[in-house]
Structure 1
Amino acid sequence: MELLRNAVRPYAWGSRTTIPELLGRPVPAPHPEAELWMGAHPGDPSKVVGADGVERSLLELVEADPVAQLGETCAGTWGNRLPFLLKILAAEEPLSMQAHPSADQAAEGYAREEAAGIPRDAANRNYPDPTAKPELVCALTEFHALAGFRDPTRTVKLLNAIETPGLAKYTSLLAAQPDSDGLRALFTTWITLPQATLDELLPEVLDACVAHVKEHGEFNTECRTILGLGEAHPRDAGVLAALLLNRLVLRAGEAIYLPAGNLHLYLHGTAVEILANSDNILRCGLTPKHVDVPELLRVVDFNAAEMPVLKGEEGDCGAVYRTGAPEFELSRVEWTASDREPVVAGSSGPQILLCTEGALRVRAEDGRELALNRGQSIWLAAADPDVQITPTGTQPAQLFRATAGTC
């Protein structure tokens, strides 16, 4: 049971206030800070802070003794590798539109690119590792996202509401086949449009969205989203693709699970994110980074439905967001100002405990004890005893607990 010192990732879409304020640092930060990483990702592993103040890489600890750190089952299942990564996500601006491969797709793509001799750090590499990358995002503040394809009938209604001469033929394409095949056909058509055609169509669509917003139309929120994306990426086919996706607003404590193939885009807000420890991303657009359209089309799931919003089910340690992902499971525990009831966190596998509100005391069965303040996290190895978590002070408290789904 040891405190973690975690890496901050300074991506351009991040906030200059959210993560510094969470960590008790001066606000605003000199540069955007987008993600706080907790785990043993090779790109930026957490540091484990010993009682003597000495810091050691969590990745090196896991590699040195995977059974003690991960447990025999977890180590055996995941090749002596911590299978999840926990993050704080602070999105001030939209991220890229993207999807992630299944385990089979990742293994095949990785082997193919290895055989082709593409360096793993190359800009055009799609599969730097052979593993899947499902993820779950749980809102800490109001969190806005696009995720999964909207019911085609509803999308046809949206497209009709912003009808333009240039858009009409695409609307009729989906109206004639309002199913997953129709979505695939329209999506493929849009993201492969010649730039000259795109440069004519996009301004028409954006002007129609402006008119719809002025009229306070039924799709006001969707149109405002398209206008924001169009302003940031004025010549990008991803702006059109965004018209096909569910527009979501999550309240604090609500979550969405993004399995393989789910096309998604985080727009704005602060969240806890847990994902498989993988870097495999197939981008659709709204980014200067590499976009491989044929590979993206192999991965994207065109089945359409409303995205389920998870609120957490009662579990042994708070509300559990059940997904079926073998790599991870996320739980949330909340205490009111008058609730001081302790919670026990026990597991046969690795755990990360993250305090996002208030202050906590974490006491192990062997008598060791740590204070866990807002923004801090603790590593619990599989070999560690169970711990009891109790809020301290008089303020409400909140804890997120990350575990491996198969351990």
Structure 2
Amino acid sequence: MELLRNAVRPYAWGSRTIIPELQGRPVPAPHPEAELWMGAHPGDPSHVVGPDGVERSLLEVVEADPLGQLGEKCARRWDGRLPFLLKILAVEEPLSMQAHPSAEQAAAGYAREEAAGIARDAANRNYPDPTAKPELVCALTEFHALAGFRDPHRTVELLNAIETPGLAKYTQLLSAQPDSDGLRALFTTWITLPQATLDELLPEVLDACVLHVKERGEFDLECRTILELGEAHPQDAGVLAALLLNRLVLRAGEAIYLPAGNLHLYLRGTAVEILANSDNILRCGLTPKHVDVPELLRVVDFRCEGMPVQLPEPGQRAAVYHTDAPEFELSRFEWTERDRQSVAVEPAGPQILLCTQGRVRVRALDGTELELGRGQSLWLAASDPAVELVPVGGDAVQLFRATPGTCAD
């Protein structure tokens, strides 16, 4: 059981206040801070801090003793790698629109690019590793996102509500086939439009969205989102693609799971994210980075099955966010100001505990204990004994726990 010192990723879309404030550092930070990484990702691993203050890379710790740190089952299943990465997201501006491959797609894509001799850090590399990248995001504050394809009948209603002469034929394309095949056809048409056609269509759509907002139409939130994206990316086909996705507003504690193929875009808010330890991203647009349309179309899942939101149960001290991802599972523990009941946590392979509110004492059965304050985290190796979580002080406490997925057992 050791404290972690974690890496901050300074992407341009991040906040200058959220992560520094969480960690008790001066606010605002000199530059945007977008993500706080907790794990053994090769690009920016956490460091474990020993009782003597000596730090060691968690990646090196795991590589030196995979059986002791991960446990035999996890080490064997994931070839000696920690399979998950835990993050804090501080989203102040929209990210790129993207999807992630399945395990089979990632393995095949990685093999193709290795055979083609594309450097793993090349800008046009789609698959820097051969693994899947499912993810789950749990809101800490109100969190806004686009995720998954909206029911096409409902999307036809949206397109009719903002219809323009240039948009009409595309609305008819989907209304004639309001299913996943129709969505694929419309999405493919839009993201492959010649730039000259796009430059004519996008201003029409944005003007129609302005009018819809002024008239307080039914799709006010969707139109405001399109206007926001259009202002930042005035010539990008991803703005049109955003018309096809579910517009979600998560409240604190609510979560969405993004399996392989789910097209999504985070807009703003603060969240805990857990994902497979992979860098495989297929971008659709709204970014200056590499966009490979043919490969994206192979990966995107056009099924429109709704985008279920996992809701926390009121009054429950512990909650598990269920997914079919073998790489990870996320749990949340909460105590009110009056609730000081301890909670036992059994060994579950490698674990990361993250405190996001209040203070909690982590006490091992062998007598070892560490106290976590807001913004702090610790590493529990598979060989560590069971621990007990004890809220400290009189404030409400919130703690997240990351483990390998139970469906991998």
TM bracket, shorter-chain basis? over 0.9
Equivalent residue for 1:119? 119
**Cα deviation, residue 370, structure 1:** 0.4
AA matched with 1:85: L
Q: How does 1:347-386 map to 2 (within 5 A)?
A: 347-386=347-386
Equivalent residue for 2:74? 74
Cα RMSD over matched residues?
1.1
Is residue 2:109 matched to residue 1:95? no
**Cα deviation, residue 237, structure 1:** 0.2
Is residue 2:229 matched to residue 1:205? no
Equivalent residue for 1:13? 13
Equivalent residue for 2:39? 39
The answer for unaligned runs of 5 or more in structure 2 is none
SS at match of 2:186: helix
Tell whether the 8 Å contact from 1:317 to 1:331 is kept in structure 2 after alignment.
Answer: no
Is residue 2:121 matched to residue 1:149? no
Equivalent residue for 2:229? 229
Q: How does 1:48-197 map to 2 (within 5 A)?
A: 48-197=48-197
SS at match of 2:207: helix
Measure, in 2, the Cα distance between the counterparts of 1:252 and 1:390.
Answer: 23
Tell whether the 8 Å contact from 2:333 to 2:400 is kept in structure 1 after alignment.
Answer: yes
Q: How does 1:219-368 map to 2 (within 5 A)?
A: 219-312=219-312, 318-368=318-368
Measure, in 1, the Cα distance between the counterparts of 2:155 and 2:72.
Answer: 48
AA matched with 2:310: L
Q: How does 1:381-396 map to 2 (within 5 A)?
A: 381-396=381-396
- Map Cα deviations across residues 341-400 of structure 1 (whole Å, 9 max, x no partner): 111111240000000000011100000010100000010000000010111011000000
TM-score (norm 2): 0.98
Measure, in 2, the Cα distance between the counterparts of 1:40 and 1:147.
Answer: 27
**Cα deviation, residue 317, structure 1:** 7.9
Tell whether the 8 Å contact from 2:317 to 2:334 is kept in structure 1 after alignment.
Answer: no
AA matched with 2:243: L
Measure, in 2, the Cα distance between the counterparts of 1:109 and 1:347.
Answer: 35
Identity %: 83
**Cα deviation, residue 311, structure 1:** 1.9
Equivalenced residues, count: 406
**Cα deviation, residue 324, structure 1:** 1.4
CA shift in 2, pair 1:313/1:111, >3 Å: farther
Measure, in 2, the Cα distance between the counterparts of 1:343 and 1:191.
Answer: 50
SS at match of 1:382: coil
Measure, in 2, the Cα distance between the counterparts of 1:3 and 1:122.
Answer: 34
Measure, in 1, the Cα distance between the counterparts of 2:349 and 2:153.
Answer: 45
Measure, in 2, the Cα distance between the counterparts of 1:118 and 1:244.
Answer: 33
SS at match of 1:320: strand
- Map Cα deviations across residues 95-127 of structure 1 (whole Å, 9 max, x no partner): 000000000000000000000000000000000
SS at match of 2:294: helix
The answer for unaligned runs of 5 or more in structure 1 is none
Measure, in 2, the Cα distance between the counterparts of 1:245 and 1:167.
Answer: 17
Measure, in 1, the Cα distance between the counterparts of 2:16 and 2:112.
Answer: 40
Tell whether the 8 Å contact from 2:362 to 2:388 is kept in structure 1 after alignment.
Answer: yes
Measure, in 2, the Cα distance between the counterparts of 1:317 and 1:3.
Answer: 24
Tell whether the 8 Å contact from 2:317 to 2:335 is kept in structure 1 after alignment.
Answer: no
SS at match of 1:157: helix
**Cα deviation, residue 312, structure 1:** 4.6
Measure, in 2, the Cα distance between the counterparts of 1:142 and 1:50.
Answer: 36
TM-score (norm 1): 0.99
**Cα deviation, residue 313, structure 1:** 6.9
AA matched with 1:342: S
Tell whether the 8 Å contact from 1:317 to 1:344 is kept in structure 2 after alignment.
Answer: no
AA matched with 1:9: R
AA matched with 1:91: V
Tell whether the 8 Å contact from 1:33 to 1:90 is kept in structure 2 after alignment.
Answer: yes
**Cα deviation, residue 37, structure 1:** 0.1
SS at match of 1:270: strand
AA matched with 2:169: K
AA matched with 1:352: I
Tell whether the 8 Å contact from 2:347 to 2:384 is kept in structure 1 after alignment.
Answer: no
Tell whether the 8 Å contact from 1:317 to 1:345 is kept in structure 2 after alignment.
Answer: no
Measure, in 2, the Cα distance between the counterparts of 1:217 and 1:38.
Answer: 43
AA matched with 2:289: K
